[in-house]
Amino acid sequence: MPDVLTDLPPQVWTARSDEHADRVDALTAGARARRAAGVRHPVEDFLYEYYNTRPSLLRRWHPGPQVALIGPAPHAAWRWYVTDGAAVRLDVEGFLADRGDTVRFVRGLLAATASRPAFTGCFGLHEWAMVYRDDGHRHSLPLRLGQAGTDAVVESHPVRCTHFDAFRFFTPAAVGLNRVRPTRATQPELEQPGCLHATMDLYKWALKLAPATPAELVADCFELARDVRTLDMRASPYDLSDHGYEPVAIETPEGKAAYVTAQREFSGRGAALRQRLLVVCDQLLD
């Protein structure tokens, strides 16, 4: 249990909870409407399917590990919360008993990633390597340059993907083209802050730390992941024009420059969120 807790009176934490719910409702409106209509989106639905979460979970407000909610709070009935007199707080001891290994892994990975410079010379080729010389594509979308043109782009560029969860989807023909061989075991040694997938995964780590992660931080990570995912697919070999997306043509000098500019911006936003997640880990472990 933290040595010092910040007490939030009901009018404060209910206002924060309501504000968070309104924000998440706006961020997830499209996803909820599509789900009700039984329609899928090739870009945005990735955040719910790959990260295995729902808008309703993202909407739930959590205060974080150093906050006590004064007055009756629904959190009292939720897992990993305890009631102390008139206050409800996160049960840090119980959370660590169940999830301590996860907290320590996440902290180690985030700290290692933050310690490295951002590499911005990959140009999003991981998505191209996932369809290289393979007619069975992960997405039922046309290729912007066709199969032969896509293969030519991969063959004419150095492929350097450091992210295991991208590399593991490379086609067999593309595996040997990658200049590194990331594995789950070497993830803490290779993850670097310029990687779009490492930045998107800040949302995953925020979810892994929940409910210890303040809900506002989870929403910030979600919003960044959504923006990164959009660039990831715009720079991919897929033709998304029917969905209203202009391509970032990384096979051209202009496309490469645009990709790197956006990559650096996302890396900066990710660095700030990574530090906030590290603070949460330290609050739990101290």
pLDDT digits (tens, 9 = 90+) for 136-171: 777 789 999 999 999 999 999 999 999 999 999 999
pLDDT digits (tens, 9 = 90+) for 168-181: 999 999 999 999 99
Span 26-33, mean pLDDT? Answer: 95
pLDDT digits (tens, 9 = 90+) for 207-230: 999 999 999 999 999 999 999 999
Q: What's the confidence (pLDDT) of residue 3?
A: 58
Q: What is the distance between the alpha carbons of residues 209 and 228, in angstroms, rounded to a whole number?
A: 21
Looking at per-residue pLDDT, the higher value among 2 and 28 belongs to 28
Q: What's the confidence (pLDDT) of residue 137?
A: 76
* Residues whose CB falls within 8 Å of the CB of residue 134, separated by 6 or more in sequence, listed in order: 171, 173
pLDDT digits (tens, 9 = 90+) for 236-259: 999 999 999 999 999 999 999 999
Q: What is the distance between the alpha carbons of residues 146 and 133, in angstroms, rounded to a whole number?
A: 11
- Say if residue 1's pLDDT is above 60: no
Pairing of strands 87-90, 6-8: unpaired
Average pLDDT over the chain, rounded to an integer: 95
Q: What is the distance between the alpha carbons of residues 90 and 40, in angstroms, rounded to a whole number?
A: 36
pLDDT digits (tens, 9 = 90+) for 99-124: 999 999 999 999 999 999 999 999 99
Q: What's the confidence (pLDDT) of residue 135?
A: 81
Q: How many beta carbons lie within 10 A of that of residue 39, not counting itself?
A: 10
Q: What is the distance between the alpha carbons of residues 192 and 121, in angstroms, rounded to a whole number?
A: 12
- Say if residue 200's pLDDT is above 80: yes
- Say if residue 127's pLDDT is above 60: yes
Span 272-283, mean pLDDT? Answer: 98
Q: What's the confidence (pLDDT) of residue 4?
A: 67
Q: What is the distance between the alpha carbons of residues 121 and 259, in angstroms, rounded to a whole number?
A: 10
pLDDT digits (tens, 9 = 90+) for 47-86: 999 999 999 999 999 999 999 999 899 999 999 999 988 8
Q: What's the confidence (pLDDT) of residue 140?
A: 81
Residue type at 189?
A: E
pLDDT band at 89 (very low <50, low <70, confident <90, very high): very high
Q: What's the confidence (pLDDT) of residue 129?
A: 97
SS3 per-residue string spanning the chain: CCCCCEEECHHHHHHHHHHHHHHHHHHCHHHHHHHHHCCCCCCCCHHHHCCCCCHHHHHCCCCCCCEEEECCCHHHHCCCEEEECCEEEECHHHHHHHHHHHHHHHHHHHHHHHCCCCCCCCCCHHHHHCCCCCCCCCCCCCECCHHHHHHHHHHCCCECCCCHHHHCCCCHHHHCCECCCCCCCCHHHHCCCCCHHHHHHHHHHHHHCCCCCCHHHHHHHHHHHHHHHHHHHHCCCECCHHHCCCCCCCCCHHHHHHHHHHHHHHHHHHHHHHHHHHHHHHHHHC
Among the listed residues 199, 195, 197, 215, the one whose alpha carbon sits nearest the alpha carbon of residue 207: 215
8 A C-beta contact, residue 161 and residue 125? yes
